[in-house]
Amino acid sequence: MTQGELPGPGPDARQLPEGRRNEDGIRIDPEAEAEHPPERTVLSALVKHEPGVLAEISGLFSRRQFNIESLTVGATIDDDLARMTIVIEEPRPGIDQAKKQLEKRIPVVSVRELDDEAVQRELVILKVNGDRPDEVNAITDMYDGTTLDAGPRTITVQITGDEQKIDDAVDAYEQFGIRELVRTGYAALARGEAPTAQVKQPNKAPTESQVATTEADDD
Amino acid sequence: MSERASVPKEDEQDAEAAGAEAEAETDAEPPADGEREQEPEATGADAVVRALENAGVEYLFGVQGGAIMPVYDALYRSDEMTHVTMAHEQGAAHAADAYGIVTGDPGVCMATSGPGATNLVTGLADASMDSDPLVALTGQVPTDFVGNDAFQETDTIGVTQPITKYNTFADDSDAVGTDVGTAWALANDGRQGPTLVDLPKDVTQGETDAEPGLPETPDTYQPPERAEPENVATAAEVLADADRPVILAGGGVIKAEASEELREFATEHEVPVITTMPGTGAFPETHDLSLEIAGMHGTGYANLAVSLTDCLLAVGTRFDDRLTGDVRTFAPDADVIHVDIDPAEISKNIEADYPLLGDAAAVLDQLAEAMPASPDTDEWLEQCQTWKEEYPMDYETPEDDPLKPQYVVEKYDELTPADTVVAAGVGQHQMWAWQYWTWTEPRTWVTSHGLGTMGYAVPAAIGAKLAAPDREVVAFDGDGSFLMTGQELTVAVRENLNITIVVLNNEAVGMVRQWQDGFYEGRRMASEYPWVPQFDKLAEAYGAQGLRIESYDEVEETIQEAREYDGPSVIDAVIDPAENVYPMVPSGGNNARFALNEDHLEQL
């Protein structure tokens, strides 16, 4: 206790640091401020096939404000495991954070970020007006689609492919009047021999991406 | 505290009848002294109790209720654990949380389904934010009723998912004991945190002879232990080359029992140490190298040092915004070496240039070995010393009244031993307790850091006293904070706990009022409490000793009276209602531009 000693220099008279961080807490050169434009990323997660896991993962993404584009989930060859394919659009620090938060949840066995080489497919089912069946059929052929149902008033088709192809196909069907459509979101696997997830060594220990120093991310 | 009860003898015939799945889960060690036989008709509830005994649990904090009754009934037969009935489930969660902070082992709280479970929510969120080890057991309606909006049903798993490290719905009497053991182990291992097991009544009532073993984490959970040696070597070089290094010790240092390693490291290399609020006590504030505490209400010298450092060795901290202020101005020139056991904390708020994943004690040992030399810190230490002289922690004490709260805290600190446990609620009183107590030991500062839960102090003091019966326990509370959970005083009286609760009474939710005065042009909407009860009289109604302080000359005498009383005392300390908390960095501000008074605040 010092009985009200006079304080030192006020806020304006103090030494202040020169460097800066950006709003992601990244130290930057003030002359060349780092930008982190959102990137579209496909995450593949192997999770325990249990009730509530999807809610846990989707809840994690919503409460941490990760911008989720699509999320699909389904069984794997192992009855105890399910695979989730999650497409997010986030700046790089957000993507890394999403992966780490995902890995942290107890039912999550493995998380991997898939690169552009990965095999990625989405399915869309479209229901269009059926008054020009020949033209609909021609478009369906053009996009390697399949007719699932054809009646006097509606025709329902399915198209699979990447996002661009499906967007194009949807545009092409617009001319007939699309009554309804449903898209599944991406399902993806790593290409070639590379495993999409390390199932045999379930390990929560840090992956390379987690311990890598951050210079690489300062793009 | 973590001494574990021996695993009872396994009845081979029963185990055989239990089927393959149960057998897989009865991988228990051979009995050390197999005097207790499995009850002939054991239930899931018995397995729950056995799992807790196996974990070495001594105290349970809870409130009875319909859906949890089978577990309480099984507890009736346990002579290894003591159940403390709390006035409200929130009190149970905070008491268990405080118990976990003081002992280092998970505290356990129990509640029934529906409202019982939802009343735990604040305590779970609190433990989650502070990474406190806590296990919650909640009753649930029978599985056939689940999803039908049955009486006292809540989707406890859904409600608590975002605020627990792990939660699970027990759906099998044979597995429920193991579920509880897993929850206990996960609460304790790696980065500690709260876990929950939801216990449907039919599952706890169901017969089982499955014997839960010792608590075990799932094999998918493998927290890092030691950091990569190459990374450690690089970080050590950076630190050795630094001109203005600072160690920032967070709560993780205390959780990892790394205080000793921290003290050795800092002293050996003469690096000044700052603690975060949860890291308080990790490094003795009496040490020359201590700059005490940083952040919104930290010391001026800590905040200047953290702003101007060129190398920040951050250990076990998540860079909460109350610590960093605006991240753009937080340690902006520093190479950040971040030691943490949780990979998700790396570069979450402040980017780590040199992340070291592992247990704080192990990594500090690794760093100590890898240091090629000590940094040359003479000039820097001199600078820090100048700041200490320029910006001392200070308050004005006019000889006459009104009484300053800081004086009450300082006086109490003077009169008590160093290992005294201090609990605090949330508000101005918490900040004064934090700022004006001299912290020297880990596990002595028990408060709600991250969630900022008003009402934390009284139940926390109860949990802390049961965790450390031989140590003094004092709780600083505010009038607003006390009014939220003051009913737990009834528990302190019933259990005859020798604790003192000091209500720093300014008839306001003072922190809100301070902000209204500073940032809302003095519009004191709903922050002043001109109707608070006389807390000394209220204490007497509960059966506690009630005392009152209104002037400086009563302080010492009254504190001694409270300390000497065998049982709970409440001191209603009527303090200067105009007193505010300084230094202060406005929310999201620049730590170097802290205010020491209202004039400074206007400059910001």
pLDDT tens by residue, B202-231: 999 999 999 999 999 998 899 999 999 999
pLDDT at B37: 54
Q: Do B328 and A20 touch (CB under 8 A)?
A: yes
B392 has a chain A CB within 8 A of its CB: yes
Options B296, B393, B484, B511, the catalytic residue: B511
Please give the structure tokens belonging to residue B74. Answer: 């099984």
Q: Do A204 and B347 touch (CB under 8 A)?
A: no
Q: A33 to chain B: nearest residue by CA?
A: B328
pLDDT at B27: 47
Q: Do A12 and B603 touch (CB under 8 A)?
A: yes
Could you list the beta-strand ranges (E) of B285-439.
290-293, 311-315, 335-340, 354-357, 421-424
Do B453 and B94 contact (CB within 8 A), yes or no?
yes
Q: In 3-state terms, what secondary structure has residue B368?
A: helix
Q: Is the pLDDT of residue B19 over 60?
A: no
Options B23, B64, B69, B152, the catalytic residue: B152
* pLDDT tens column, B425-453: 999 999 999 999 999 999 999 999 999 99
Q: B223 to chain A: nearest residue by CA?
A: A205
Q: Do A210 and B343 touch (CB under 8 A)?
A: yes
* pLDDT tens column, B370-422: 999 999 999 999 999 999 999 999 898 877 779 999 999 999 999 999 999 99
Q: In 3-state terms, what secondary structure has residue B278?
A: coil
Chain B: closest CA distance from residue A195 (Å): 18
Options B16, B21, B39, B151, the catalytic residue: B151
Long-range contacts (CB closer than 8 Å, 24 or more residues apart) made by B364-367: B364/B258, B364/B261, B364/B262, B364/B265, B364/B315, B364/B339, B365/B261, B366/B226, B366/B227, B366/B229, B366/B232, B367/B232, B367/B235, B367/B236, B367/B239, B367/B265, B367/B313, B367/B339
**CB < 8 Å from A in window 288-347 of B:** 300, 304, 307-308, 319, 324, 327-334, 336, 342-344, 346-347
Residues of A in contact with B166 (CB under 8 A): 106
* pLDDT tens column, A4-24: 666 788 999 998 887 789 888
B152 given a catalytic annotation: yes
* CB-nearest partner of B397 from A3, A22, A27: A3
pLDDT at A206: 44
pLDDT at A204: 47
Residues of A in contact with B344 (CB under 8 A): 97, 100-101, 103-104
Residues of A in contact with B389 (CB under 8 A): 8
Average pLDDT over residues B39-66: 94
* CB-nearest partner of B162 from A21, A51, A63: A63
Q: Do A8 and B387 touch (CB under 8 A)?
A: yes
Residues of A in contact with B219 (CB under 8 A): 202
How far is the C-alpha of B534 from the C-alpha of B320, rounded, in Å? 36
Which of B21, B330, B346, B582 best probes binding to A when mutated, by most A CB atoms within 10 angstroms?
A: B346
Q: A22 to chain B: nearest residue by CA?
A: B328
* CB-nearest partner of A106 from B166, B328, B594: B166
B366 given a catalytic annotation: no
The model's confidence at residue B537, banded by pLDDT at 50, 70 and 90, is: very high
pLDDT at A165: 95
Q: Is the pLDDT of residue B361 over 90?
A: yes
Average pLDDT over residues B294-316: 97
Per-residue CA distances from B91 to B87, B110, B158, B486 (Å)? 7, 11, 22, 10
**H helices of B450-551, where?**
457-467, 479-485, 489-494, 510-519, 535-542
Q: B167 to chain A: nearest residue by CA?
A: A106
Q: B217 to chain A: nearest residue by CA?
A: A106
Q: What residue type is B76 in one-letter code?
A: Y
* pLDDT tens column, B552-566: 999 999 999 999 999
pLDDT at A6: 64
Q: Is the pLDDT of residue A3 over 90?
A: no
Q: Do B327 and A24 touch (CB under 8 A)?
A: yes
pLDDT at B369: 98
Options B201, B255, B388, B404, the catalytic residue: B201
Average pLDDT over residues A89-103: 94
> What's the whole-number average pLDDT of chain B?
93
Chain B: closest CA distance from residue A51 (Å): 10
B383 given a catalytic annotation: no
Chain A: closest CA distance from residue B512 (Å): 23
* CB-nearest partner of B218 from A2, A27, A106: A106
pLDDT at A190: 94
pLDDT at A108: 94
B192 given a catalytic annotation: no
Q: Is the pLDDT of residue B15 over 60?
A: no
pLDDT at B398: 78
Q: Is the pLDDT of residue B1 over 70?
A: no
How far is the C-alpha of B175 from the C-alpha of A2, rounded, in Å? 61
Q: Is the pLDDT of residue B567 over 60?
A: yes
* pLDDT tens column, B139-156: 999 999 999 999 999 999
Do B295 and B591 contact (CB within 8 A), yes or no?
yes
Least confident of A24-38, A124-138, B162-176, B511-525: A24-38
B54 has a chain A CB within 8 A of its CB: no
Chain A: closest CA distance from residue B84 (Å): 31
Average pLDDT over residues B347-364: 97
Pick the more confident residue, A205 or A130: A130
B519 given a catalytic annotation: no
* pLDDT tens column, B246-276: 999 999 999 999 999 999 999 999 999 999 9
Average pLDDT over residues B44-62: 98
* CB-nearest partner of B392 from A2, A205, A211: A2
Q: Do B594 and A11 touch (CB under 8 A)?
A: yes
Average pLDDT over residues A60-89: 94
Q: Sign of dihedral through CA atoms A102, A105, A107, A108? A: positive
Q: Is the pLDDT of residue B593 over 90?
A: yes
The model's confidence at residue A211, banded by pLDDT at 50, 70 and 90, is: very low
Q: Is the pLDDT of residue B59 over 90?
A: yes
Q: A17 to chain B: nearest residue by CA?
A: B308
Q: Is the pLDDT of residue A201 over 90?
A: no
Least confident of A78-82, B29-33, B188-192, B226-230: B29-33
Q: Do B343 and A103 touch (CB under 8 A)?
A: yes
Pick the more confident residue, B508 or B24: B508
Q: Do B390 and A4 touch (CB under 8 A)?
A: no
pLDDT at B164: 98
- For the beta carbon of residue B369, count every other beta carbon within 10 angstroms: 11
pLDDT at B47: 98
Residues of A in contact with B334 (CB under 8 A): 27
* pTM score of the predicted model: 0.91
Chain A: closest CA distance from residue B393 (Å): 8
How far is the C-alpha of B454 from the C-alpha of B33, rounded, in Å? 46
pLDDT at B566: 97
Quick one: what percent of chain B has pLDDT higher than 70?
93
Q: Is the pLDDT of residue A212 over 50?
A: no
Quick one: what percent of chain B has pLDDT higher than 90?
90
* Residue B190 region by backbone torsions, left for phi larger than 0, else alpha for psi between -120 and 50, else beta: left
Q: Is the pLDDT of residue B524 over 50?
A: yes
The model's confidence at residue A36, banded by pLDDT at 50, 70 and 90, is: confident
* CB-nearest partner of B308 from A15, A60, A214: A15
Pick the more confident residue, B60 or A197: B60
The model's confidence at residue B362, banded by pLDDT at 50, 70 and 90, is: very high
The model's confidence at residue B542, banded by pLDDT at 50, 70 and 90, is: very high
Q: What residue type is B594 in one-letter code?
A: F
